[in-house]
Structure 1
Amino acid sequence: MAKAFEEQRRSPDLEALPFEDRIGLLVDREAAERDTRRLTTRLKIAALRQTACVEDVDLRTPRGIDRAVFAKLVEGRWIDRHENLLVTGATGLGKSWLACALGHKACRDNRSVLYHRVPRLFEALALARGDGRYARLLKSLGRAQLLILDDWGLSVLTAAERRDLLEILEDRHGRASTIVTSQLPVDTWHGAIGDPTVADAILDRLVHNAHRLQLTGESMRKRSAKTITLDDNQNTDSISHRP
């Protein structure tokens, strides 16, 4: 507000405004600054892997994304209802990018978000178990309104990893929302967990109240590479035909 007041003093046009209007401008400036600081803090804590926004999601490329379903996901009421989202599909289709875009939108909506790649998360939990931070790390994972678990199912879980995942999902079940991205179809997740009994418990807490995005089509990375190659060829042709 002090900065805004100094700007008003240097602006002769604002001196003509009524006192109430000038105070209103100061309050609006303070509110905007606080919102910006809160968003910056939330994004820093979230540690999203990619800088992605829902406004930049390409819905024209055929990937199996229903516009109406995606609009509801962007709206975010599913997070208020503590529902989950499962994003599956082959590599290169933008699963992580979509998850980060929805995480960014949740931060903008004043929700707490955490992003973790599953292999790195299990490593962090193993280290935390050894140095006494395990309970504190589990508490932070359970407290986030939206937890993004990226690259799930790259290998069959060990016994310790199964226990860790069950603890995380048990703490969050009915209290918070989780996004899981995976190259594996959901119906194969039971085998990827390894132990049938623990798999039943994990999937019961994760799948039954979850929305699903099954991505299909050509890899976005391949598509991007083709576009770059095409542009390079066009540039080469235009250079070779110059007089």
Structure 2
Amino acid sequence: MLKHPTLDQLHALGLYGMAKAFAELAEAPEANGLDRNDWLALLLDREASLRRDKRLTARLRAARLRQQASVEDVDYRAARGLDRALFQKLAEGQWIDAHDNLALVGPSGTGKSWLACAIGQKACRDNRSVVYHRWPKLCEELALARGDGRHPRLLKSLGRADLLILDDFGLEPLDAGARHDLLEILEERYGRRSTIVTSQLPVTAWHDVIGDPTYADAVLDRLVHNAHRIELAGESLRRARGKQAKSA
């Protein structure tokens, strides 16, 4: 194992990527032909790469995405009405910088959650903070948090992420607590952060799901008017793939 004062200093300074590259170059015969500038460039490149990987790992861990999805793996051949040009444009993320929202709607099994997670994973790769929640489960967590004093802290954490994904919205009507929490979340994020909402229901039905007309108007005003929309259709991809597997 290589022993060198420079290697010790790199470790002491926390420059582990540079330290690993230094050790590899010192033991590689072909590295003897490199000048000092090339050596330094390789060390810095390895350090930068290691730090990017660490940041991405931390962001993905914090995001807790439901699906291991990526925008490069999207299936555009499936008959579900996914606009390739629109989705690829959204994957670039300018709408997140503009603090817009995204409504991703369609029948069960058309890949809404997967697509939302793919955009979330790309946002993490672009050094943006992301948080994923299934809306029904989040409602339960918020209700419990009211009783143990965590409610303000949880609401605040939902307001901080660059991109918040609320999956499976509208599976059942909102009660008074859920209506209030949703409005507080969106009020905190409006004009500052971006939100993806996935739902089996069309956007036109969200007013009824929210229930109280005053709350519904306030929520949709903060969520929908600046929202891009992806509207999917067709048969469940899970069902279609199951049929293909049986016929194979």
Query: Please, what TM-score do these two structures have when normalized by structure 2?
Result: 0.92
Q: Does 1:119 align with 2:136?
A: yes
- Could you tell me which residue of structure 2 aligns to residue 199 of structure 1? 216
- Deviation of 1:15 after TM superposition, in Å, equals 1.8
Separation in 2, partners of 1:89, 1:66 = 13
Stretches of structure 1 that go unaligned for 5 or more consecutive residues are 232-243
- Deviation of 1:56 after TM superposition, in Å, equals 0.4
Matches within 5 A, 1:33-48: 33-48=50-65
Separation in 1, partners of 2:45, 2:131 = 30
Matches within 5 A, 1:125-144: 125-144=142-161
Letter in 2 for 1:164: D
Q: Does 1:181 align with 2:164?
A: no
- Could you tell me which residue of structure 1 aligns to residue 125 of structure 2? 108
- Deviation of 1:131 after TM superposition, in Å, equals 1.5
- Could you tell me which residue of structure 2 aligns to residue 239 of structure 1? none
- Could you tell me which residue of structure 1 aligns to residue 44 of structure 2? 27
**Identity rate of aligned residues, in percent?**
65
Letter in 1 for 2:197: V
Separation in 1, partners of 2:32, 2:133 = 51
Separation in 2, partners of 1:213, 1:92 = 15
- Could you tell me which residue of structure 2 aligns to residue 213 of structure 1? 230
Stretches of structure 2 that go unaligned for 5 or more consecutive residues are 1-17
Separation in 2, partners of 1:98, 1:189 = 20
Aligned positions, number: 231
- Deviation of 1:210 after TM superposition, in Å, equals 0.3
Separation in 1, partners of 2:21, 2:147 = 50
- Could you tell me which residue of structure 2 aligns to residue 169 of structure 1? 186
Separation in 1, partners of 2:70, 2:240 = 20
- Deviation of 1:62 after TM superposition, in Å, equals 2.1
- Deviation of 1:136 after TM superposition, in Å, equals 1.2
After TM superposition, the runs of 4+ consecutive aligned structure 1 residues lying more than 6 A away are: none
Alpha-carbon RMSD across the aligned residues, in angstroms, is 0.8
Matched residue of 1:91: which SS?
coil
- Deviation of 1:121 after TM superposition, in Å, equals 0.6
Matched residue of 2:195: which SS?
strand
Separation in 1, partners of 2:126, 2:132 = 16
Separation in 1, partners of 2:78, 2:113 = 17
Matched residue of 1:100: which SS?
helix
- Could you tell me which residue of structure 2 aligns to residue 94 of structure 1? 111
Letter in 2 for 1:88: V
Q: Deviations over 1:48-102 (max 9, x none)?
A: 0000000000112221111221121011100000000001110000000000000
